[in-house]
Chain A
Amino acid sequence: MSALFLFFAIASCLGAVLVVISQSVVRMAFWLVVSLGSVAALFFLADADFVGAAQLLIYVGGTLVLLVFGVMLTASGPYMKIETSPGETAIAGVVGSLFLFMVISSTPSGSAQLTLDEDGHTVVKRTGDWEAIHDAVKPATSTPDDGSFDDKSDGNTLRPIGWALLGLRPDRVDITRETEAGKKKEAADPASGPTAAPGYLLPFEIASVHLLVVLIGAAYLARAKRRSDEAS
Chain B
Amino acid sequence: MATLNAYLLVGAVLFVCGVICMATKRNGIGVLMGVELVLNGANVNFVAFSKFTSLGLDGQVFSLFIIVLAAAEAAVALAIALNFYNNHLTIDVDRGNKLKG
Task: Provide the residues of chain A in CB contact with B88, threshold 8 Å.
Answer: 228
Which A residues from 1 to 35 make CB contacts under 8 A with B?
A: 1-3, 5-6, 9, 12-13, 16-17, 19-20, 25, 28-29, 32, 35
Interface residues on A, range: 35 or more
Tell which of B64, B85, B86 has the most Cβ of chain A within 10 Å.
Answer: B64
Residue of A nearest to B54 (CB): A137
Residue A140 lies at the interface, judged by CB distance under 8 Å to chain B:
no
A36 to B37, CA, bound (A): 8
Q: Which residues of B have CB within 8 Å of A131?
A: 3-5, 52
Are A228 and B19 in contact, with the CB atoms below 8 A? Answer: no
Q: Are A20 and B24 in contact (CB under 8 A)?
A: yes
A16-B37, A32-B33 given; A207·B68 CB < 8 A:
yes
A67 touches B13 (CB 8 A): no
Instruction: Judge whether A95 is part of the interface by a CB distance below 8 angstroms.
Output: yes
Q: Are A67 and B4 in contact (CB under 8 A)?
A: no
Known contacts A13-B14, A74-B29, A84-B24: A134-B54 contact under CB 8 Å: yes
A211 at interface (Cβ–Cβ under 8 A)? yes
Select one of A92, A130, A137 contacting B23, CB under 8 A: A92
Q: A25-B27, A63-B36 are in contact. Are A107 and B13 (CB under 8 A)?
A: no
Q: How far is the CA of A219 from the CA of B72 in the complex (A)?
A: 12
B42: shortest Cβ distance to chain A, in Å?
11
For A45, list chain B residues within 8 Å (CB).
2
Which B residues are closer than 8 A to A by beta carbons?
Answer: 1-10, 12-21, 23-30, 32-34, 36-37, 40, 43-44, 47-54, 56-57, 60-61, 63-65, 67-72, 74-76, 78-83, 85-92
Q: Which of A89-111 contact B (CB under 8 A)?
A: 89, 92-93, 95-96, 99-100, 103-104, 107
Neighbouring B residues of A42 by C-beta, 8 Å: 7, 10, 44, 47
Chain B: which residue is nearest A224 at the CB level? B86
Q: How far is the CA of A171 from the CA of B15 in the complex (A)?
A: 30
A144: min CB distance to chain B, Å: 14
Q: Point out the residue from A29, A80, A164, A211 that lies within 8 Å of B57, measured CB to CB.
A: A164
Evaluate contact between B85 and A210: CB separation under 8 angstroms. no
Contact status A5-B2, CB under 8 Å:
yes
* CB interface residues, A 33-51, toward B, < 8 Å: 35-36, 39, 42-43, 45-48, 50-51
CB distance from B47 to the nearest CB of A (A): 5
